[in-house]
Amino acid sequence: MAVREPLGLNLEQYKSDFQSERGTSFSHFYCPILHVDEDVDLSKGHIIPAALGGRQRVLQRSDVDNGFGSFFEAESAVAFSQTLDRPDLVDRLLTEPDDSAKLRRVKRWLEIEGNQHQIPFGLTRNGGERVLVVSKTDFPLGEKTLEVRLGVELDARSSTLISCLKMSFLHWFKQLGYRYVFSNEGILVAWVLRQVYENFIQPSQRHKKKRGLMSENVKAQVNEFCLQFANIIRPVPSEIVKSWPAELQMGTTESNWFLALVDDGQPYGRVTILRLGSEHCAVLTPTITDARGWALLDIAAHLHLEFTMAKWNADIAQFELAPPSGNSLIWPSVGYPTPPISIREAAEMVQASGRLQNL
């Protein structure tokens, strides 16, 4: 099967870049996520989904791009663009059939006052109106008037984490090429994405029905896997974003500016800023894999981190550090919070715990 090269992307440039890093070239395309060289269709995929305002693109395997897109990015896009606190959400869920494709991942149910049992329901048309249909065994009839509540939930935690991690990874692959792919940071991030693809996305791609939709059982497994990487991503409150320079507010994918976490002159972590519609998310990844780097991923403690603005300058192929901002970034942990501590203290805690032996 011949590889169909997307318009505007020169595969030879990728081959040359790969050869400069590994000493030999690939035959078809070396996937930066799967770490395999196979004869497959390629695509010019978005780094940030177009639904969230993304414009930058980079060469990807079509099956990988489509897999993450349908399985995770579609759900995370709903979470960002169809927020659950919109006052018209209930009306849209019940009355707008054209919205069903966007909101099909939103779980919805009925509850009778005083009863926490979740009653499933369907929607159908009766004349010109849409009506709710419930089972007689779930909904008691012939009694007094009942007060019913509509419950709505979208569990997009794992979808948001994986989607943002992939966006960050693809941005730095576009900027740094295979130099990033084979760096400590790139190897770690690709491993996480590869585990998700092989264990959850590929099995789903084999089923034609409801492709990309997760069952409750699969979602529970995905959440369990992603929990260990929960410290990678944080939403950034709007009041913090407003205090940032314009370059950071634009997002890393548009400006190349990010936050570098430095200790004794050594960068040990990177915070990539993603602008997703009207929201901002920060993706924290370790650039070194000693105890300080692993401490960034540990869920045991808050990290009180000093950050410096930095930019990748493609013209000179180097990172440029801005003067220290003098500010602090609190990267809160998952679970039981502790007082903020330094990265060195966090590293000592991780080493003492023995968790490094399992990483």
Structure tokens at 271: 């915070």
Contact 251, 275 (CB under 8 A): yes
Contact 331, 234 (CB under 8 A): yes
For residue 34, the model assigns a pLDDT of 97
Contact 267, 259 (CB under 8 A): no
Contact 59, 28 (CB under 8 A): no
pTM of the predicted structure, to 2 decimals: 0.80
Residues with Cβ within 8 Å of 257's Cβ and at least 6 positions away in sequence, in order, are 245, 247, 248, 250, 273, 309, 310, 311
For residue 300, the model assigns a pLDDT of 42
For residue 46, the model assigns a pLDDT of 92
In 3D space, the residue among 44, 75, 21 whose CA is nearest the CA of residue 204 turns out to be 75
User: 283 burial class (0-12, 13-18, 19+ CB within 10 angstroms)?
Assistant: buried
Series of mean pLDDT values for 10-residue runs along the chain (359 residues): 52 92 94 96 91 89 92 80 58 59 66 71 71 70 66 77 95 94 93 94 69 73 86 84 88 91 77 90 84 67 72 81 64 61 76 62
Which strand (E) or helix (H) includes residue 61? Answer: strand 57-61
CA distance 33 to 173: 10
For residue 319, the model assigns a pLDDT of 83
For residue 226, the model assigns a pLDDT of 87
CA distance 233 to 162: 9
